[in-house]
A and B are shown apart, each in its own frame.
Chain A
Amino acid sequence: MEPLETFVVESKIKSEAEQYKKIVSDAISDLVLSRAIGRIKVVIRPEDTLFQMAMVLRGSQPPVKTVDFAHVRIGTYGKSGVQIDIINEHYLPQLLDKLWAKYGPGNVSQPERKTVIVICENPHDEIVAIEQMVVDDPQRTLNSRLVDMAIRITPEGFRVRHHLLEGNHFIFLATEDIMKQEWIEETHRMLEELCGGKISGSSA
């Protein structure tokens, strides 16, 4: 799926929909989401005080584990420990956070810029645990940006909200009045249309 291959904003008056499309477009570019969104449809019905949005995301990035950016082996610094040789420093702060939380700051040291030592009882067992430790989850960051975007583009007074974020599918509704079940169903149908008729359709 290409980035933003479907980008539709609908309203009763066409010129108003076009103007609103610019607001959505600005929010997408401000939050650097254009490559993450595959298809998006927004419908605004001011006469019903209703805002609906359905979105299909382009594939999700897998969680980043220690093994993806470092070599983990038995420590050579004399004490019983694990040595982590960092290849890509980008995730180092998150890794240190996780290690501190698990082993305590006193047991984690960084003698050199790209070397981290973890003092532990059974280094052989811990090597696998550290290698498989999830250090960063890009999907989680993306989701928080998506929610931020949804709130930014919704008219401000529409504080009664309903959302669903499942896999690569995201729907968001907002209104000022009581949320109606038919509106939620309508938005689900919008999402189905975006997926080409199948809600579970592949979007990778």
Chain B
Amino acid sequence: MAVVLEPYIYEGGIHKHGLILELLEDLGGYLIQKIPAATEVTLIMLIPEMDVDLIEDIAKKLLGKLTKAPLTGTEIAVVSPTLAYHHLPHSACDVAEYLRRGGANTNMIGLARGMGRRVALSADYERRLINEHDVAIFVFGTFSDCIINKKPKLFEGIEVPVVVTGGPDLKTEDVPHADLYIGNIGRVAHRLRKEAELCALDTMSKKVGELIDQRRGEISKDPLAVLPARVMKEISDQIPEIEYVMTPAPITLQLDGLRVKLPYGEYHERIENLEFDEGPLLSEIAKVMPSKMKNYILIKIQHKSEVGFVI
């Protein structure tokens, strides 16, 4: 029977945090990301459901905090109409920050010509880049007329779930082609720190979590041939060069795949020939393709119905 893995974040001192990592490995869990910051460390992990208590005990002994992180293992695109100071850094960066606290990896995407009403448009390259993510969050402004009537044309060609944030308090069904609308996060020119603003961000994080859970539920009906976290571990073991990649998340997990931040031309064959103990090569159970982001490698794992087995 497959082990159910639960996503958690550990925040605590760097002292003796290796004990947690050793226990996690013994239990068969996965370390998704480790973020050391001076004397503190943040560990994003997938822990076997039955053994969460064991990790909790050791976290308590180390005076750290273990919290559930429902967005772990997802890569979310935070899309801003442009990169000008009208749209960034406030609100869009705060949205991304709150999603990261939930365990997600976020990428900020500023469209080249997404501003305005009649003139707003997105390019094919931008749409393809957004489609590589699990969810796309469009950070819009203050006016309901723009959000309802003009901006939805930016969602054309987006195949992943679309979440929209904006100032007015609208219903999701008011915004055409959006899967979720979250209000009270409009255009602001200051850091979001007031009570109402933080509540709106909490609501957003919670609702995006629910959307992700729903997506996970859909995937579980026809499960993936291998867990993305397992592929991540195999890449770390079989391609040691990944250790020298300096980006914050050299291997970024997605709901149905991974982004490996190594050059495609040089490494795609080694990735395709990744071996699993059970026998198959990665290329037999997943599609390895060039990513639209830089020259990275994108892996999309196939479903059981396509390959006929699950490892």
Instruction: List residues of chain A with CB under 8 Å of any chain B CB.
Output: 11-13, 15-16, 19-20, 22-23, 26-27, 30, 44, 46-47, 49, 152, 155-159, 176-177
Contacts and interface: CB of A to CB of B under 8 A. Distances in A.
Given A16-B167, A16-B168, A156 B189 contact: no
19 contacts: A12-B145, A13-B144, A16-B142, A16-B167, A19-B142, A22-B189, A23-B187, A26-B188, A30-B189, A46-B146, A152-B86, A152-B189, A155-B141, A156-B87, A156-B115, A157-B117, A157-B119, A159-B116, A176-B118
A155 B142 CA distance: 10
Interface stretch (B30-38, B68-76, B77-85, B260-268): B77-85
A16 B188 contact: no
B188 A23 contact: yes
Shortest beta-carbon contacts, A-B, top 10: A157-B116, A26-B189, A157-B115, A156-B86, A156-B115, A46-B143, A46-B145, A19-B142, A19-B167, A26-B190
Contacts of A22: 188-190
A61 to B, nearest CB: 26
A79 B134 CA distance: 78
B144 to A, nearest CB: 7
Given A13-B143, A16-B142, A27-B189, 11 more contacts: A11-B143, A15-B169, A19-B167, A20-B142, A22-B190, A26-B188, A46-B117, A156-B84, A157-B116, A176-B116, A176-B119
A176 B117 contact: yes
A44 B141 CA distance: 13
Interface string B127-171: 000000000000001111110000000000000000000011100
Nearest to B168: A16
B86 A155 contact: yes
B214 to A, nearest CB: 30
A12 B143 CA distance: 10
B116 to A, nearest CB: 2
Interface string B271-301: 0000000000000000000000000000000
A15 B186 CA distance: 12
B198 interface: no
A188 B240 CA distance: 68
Nearest to B143: A46
B143 A16 contact: yes
Contact of B120 (A11, A13, A157): A157
Nearest to B167: A19
Contacts of B145: 12, 46-47
A43 to B, nearest CB: 13
A36 B141 CA distance: 28
B142 A156 contact: no
Given A15-B168, A155-B86, A177 B118 contact: yes
Contact of A156 (B81, B167, B168, B190): B81
A22 B190 CA distance: 9
A176 B113 CA distance: 13
Contacts of B84: 156
A129 B283 CA distance: 82
A23 B118 contact: no
Interface string B187-216: 111100000000000000000000000000
A155 B119 CA distance: 12
Contacts of B81: 156
A34 to B, nearest CB: 14
A156 B82 CA distance: 9
Nearest to B113: A157
B204 to A, nearest CB: 17
Contacts of B168: 13, 15-16
A46 B117 CA distance: 9
Interface string B100-117: 000000000000000111
A25 to B, nearest CB: 9
Contact of B186 (A19, A157, A159, A177): A19
A158 B142 CA distance: 15
Contacts of B115: 155-157
A156 B144 contact: no
